[in-house]
Amino acid sequence: MNSFSFCSSMKYSFKIASVWGIPIELHITFILLMVAVAILSYPTFYLFALILFLFVFVVLHEMAHTFVARHYNIKVRKIVLYPIGGVSEIEEIPENPSIEWRLAISGPATSLLIGAVLYAASLFITIAVAPTTISASLTTAGSLILDLATLNLLLGGFNLIPAFPMDGGRVFRAILAERMKFTDATKYAAYIGRLFGIAMVVFGIIFYGYFLLIVVGLFVYIGATEEAEQTIVSTTLARVRVSDVTCAEIGSVTPENTLAEAMEVMFKFRYHDAIVEKDGIYQGLVVWDELVKVKPEQRSQLTISQMPLRKISVFQGESVLEAQKIMVSQKIAVMPVVERDNPEKVTCVLTTEGLAAAYDRAKNLR
């Protein structure tokens, strides 16, 4: 299963490379799969070699998504590779359906193109290998190039199945979104995705030798449910204004305060960020991550004026969704809220608790 997502990926993945400044991470389950296949493919290790090639093809598949995302100035956080495919984590799902279907179809199109080129090459070039039985109903072709062509054709074709959140499901959602509200299109696409997920699980249980379909079906069902919920709530969250959320008070410090004093304020108010004000004028935000970089013995000697500040804020009339995006990108727990006609005056702050309340409000607005 290959797709792109704006949800957070699973834990237990680690970086193996970086392309265009985008981290490529390998999930620990991929390593477990490679170990299992290496054991099962003994003594020829041909299946293990195919898995390594599949790893490369999945990366190319995901890089196609990334290339199109960059073309439309959509930020890609990272690419995570799983045993059943890869996921390109993007900053946000494009609102324009025509961009989403182009972004979604780029991966399968790349896999199908690679498969077609390799298949054409197999007609003229033969690298013979011993046929290997994968399951009771599946055996390799005995030709390395033809097997690689088949891998890519299967990878591209399978991902075109209209099962959200797979690529085909996203194309389906984009087509629906051109004819109805985005939230409704997501609901229908997720419903179809869950049906496909159930069908895959049932098929894998009934027919011996297709156990992997059970795993893929579960991922599709869970992915469709979770991402649909996230997408719908986030879309609705755009309608909630910062002024609709109860703002909190937070401790402030002055440029003359020491780092030790600033940290005491942070502990007192339970937030690892603090507003910096001078004579009631907003100077910026000092964050915990910057303070802890300083050696403990120096924190009572250095002042806030010697630290880098982040001059970020939002207006009361802005959407909570935009505020959340900034907080996530800046890795901060509080967002200063200022008046539009007086941006140097902080009225209150939007906190992570406030965001949670906004999400609850968004769910009621669906």
Annotation says 62 is catalytic = yes
Question: Are 240 and 365 in contact, with CB atoms under 8 Å apart?
Answer: yes
Catalytic residue among 62, 89, 277, 318: 62
Residue 263 token pair: 């940290």
Gyration radius of the chain's alpha carbons? 25
Residue 3 to residue 65: CA distance in whole angstroms: 8
* Residue 182 CB neighbour total at 10 angstroms: 19
158 sits in the region (left: phi over 0; alpha: psi -120 to 50; else beta) called: alpha
The three state secondary structure string of 19-56 is ECCEEEEEEHHHHHHHHHHHHHCCCCCHHHHHHHHHHH
Residues annotated catalytic, as ranges: 62
